[in-house]
Amino acid sequence: MRAGGAGGRKPRGEPGKGGLRGREAEADAQGPGVEARIAAGVLLNAALERRGGMDEVMGKAEVAALSGPDRAFARAVALAALRRLGEIDAILDRRLAKRPSPAVMTILRLALAQLLVLETPAFAVVSTAVRQAERDGATRQYKGLVNAVLRGIGRDGFGPTDPVANLPDWLAARWRATYGEAALAGLAEATRHEPPTDLTPRDPSGAEAVAAAVEGDVLPGGSVRTRLKGDVAGWPGFEDGTWWVQDAAAAAPARLLTARPGETVLDLCAAPGGKTLQLAATGAVVTALDRSDSRLKRLRANLARTKLEAEVVVAPAEDWEDARQFDAVLLDAPCTATGTYRRNPEALSATRPADVAKLADVQHRLLDVAAAKVKPGGRLVYCVCSLEREEGETQIIAFLRRNPAFRTVAAVPAEVGAPNEALTPEGWLRILPSMWAERGGVDGFFVARLERVG
């Protein structure tokens, strides 16, 4: 097998030399060992089983007992495996007569993630993978297979890979039909790359100063994209509340609402709260509502850190008994979140076709709730971090048909920090993760601004 394609570089190191046992100490000296790989497997499988599973198991013993660097390594390996899962499985399938048990596949997937993405030295990957197999009775008999497969890849290279393989077949088919073959290629390529971190400055006029402090660049619209890595709590400006973490695309909807000082603004489904902070920073009088008190804890903490104010209400939007109407309403509706796969690759594996219709029904109801809260002459912004038309364009088309008192107000991408190519003929924004590729990409969003004229 020859190396080729985007994944065709040969793994570093030569696992065939020196004897596996004789190099265990050297492998350990390269960094995290077997325990970190076991934890990575726990994280990977939790993410494949359910949305949010990786975050839920961070407190489990296999993960929590690790040192901080080992825990970070385990998470990095699991995320790398998730992002490139389709390519990794294709490489392995060329080496396997048939797939072994899920436990063995986990070991092999993690090893390939280290070789293909993290470029860990091959001898260290092989050594720790074999020892990981030895640790469990269910995988011990396959340690020879693990050794042979990884040594063969180390010898021959990865072979050609296609990033479209990283997308579930049903999503690839949907996106091909919706956006076309060229766009699908860009969407698939975006699965391969760890996204940079974006920050929203509390004071938009201070964006350049924030960028200088965090080794970043100011993006169109005023977000700051930083090159820093690691715990954000230690970055300059965090303790002072000078900024908060928020993807550049996620910052566009609140900017599109154009809240002004003294206006009353309702942020529906507000948690975790980045948009609430943006709205409060304009000087508007903000009410932030969400059904989850636990998710609102983060919003309350960020309000305190940034010294911003908002009324925080815990209630389901459909059951909230409050007669007030507002100058502006923002609805960031619950959705499949398929546009966030750059940061949350588990969104691809955790989402099922039935979820689209189920959540579209929720969005339909919430849009009507939001519309009733808008004063005559007021504004409504609807957004979802989904790439599915049923959750975006189709929702607004149907809403405008049943709500003739509303009309679209066209967005100006440059004013809100969205890619120019995101503007649709209707005046909405359809932001794709493949846009701004030269800057490091952006999360996928649909955003529409409406005005109540009657």
**Do 3 and 12 touch, CB atoms closer than 8 A?**
no
For 365, how many CA atoms within 13 A lie in the half-sphere containing its CB?
A: 12
| Averaged pLDDT for residues 382-402 | 98
Tens of pLDDT, residue by residue over 53-112, are 787 888 788 888 899 999 999 999 999 999 999 999 999 999 999 999 999 999 999 999
Joined tokens for residue 187 = 């969407």
**Of these residues, 269, 335, 383, 385, which one is catalytic?**
385
The per-residue pLDDT for 33 is 87
| Averaged pLDDT for residues 422-438 | 97
**Is there a catalytic annotation at residue 269?**
no
Indicate the pLDDT class of residue 28, thresholds 50, 70 and 90. very low
Which of the listed ranges 14-18, 63-67, 377-381 does the model predict with the highest average pLDDT? 377-381
Tens of pLDDT, residue by residue over 309-346, are 999 999 999 999 999 999 999 999 999 999 999 999 99
Three-state SS annotation for the chain = CCCCCCCCCCCCCCCCCCCCHHHHHHHHHCCCCHHHHHHHHHHHHHHHHCCCHHHHHHHCHHHHCCCHHHHHHHHHHHHHHHHCHHHHHHHHHCCCCCCCCHHHHHHHHHHHHHHHHHCCCHHHHHHHHHHHHHHCCCCHHHHHHHHHHHHHHHHHCCCCCCHHHHCCHHHHHHHHHHHCHHHHHHHHHHHHCCCCEEEEECCHHHHHHHHHHCCEEECCCCCEEECCCCCHHHCCCCCCCCEEECCHHHHHHHHHHCCCCCCEEEEECCCCCHHHHHHHHCCCEEEEEECCHHHHHHHHHHHHHHCCCCEEEECCHHHCCCCCCEEEEEEECCCCCHHHCCCCCHHHHHCCHHHHHHHHHHHHHHHHHHHHCEEEEEEEEEEECCCCHHHCHHHHHHHHHHCCCEEECCCCHHHHCCCHHHECCCCCEEECCCCCHHHCCCCCEEEEEEEECC
| Averaged pLDDT for residues 18-47 | 69
| Averaged pLDDT for residues 273-288 | 98
Residue 323: Cβ-neighbour burial (10 angstroms; 0-12, 13-18, 19+)? exposed
Q: What percent of the chain has pLDDT over 90?
A: 86
pTM equals 0.90
The per-residue pLDDT for 26 is 46
Give the count of beta carbons closer than 10 Å to the beta carbon of residue 217: 16
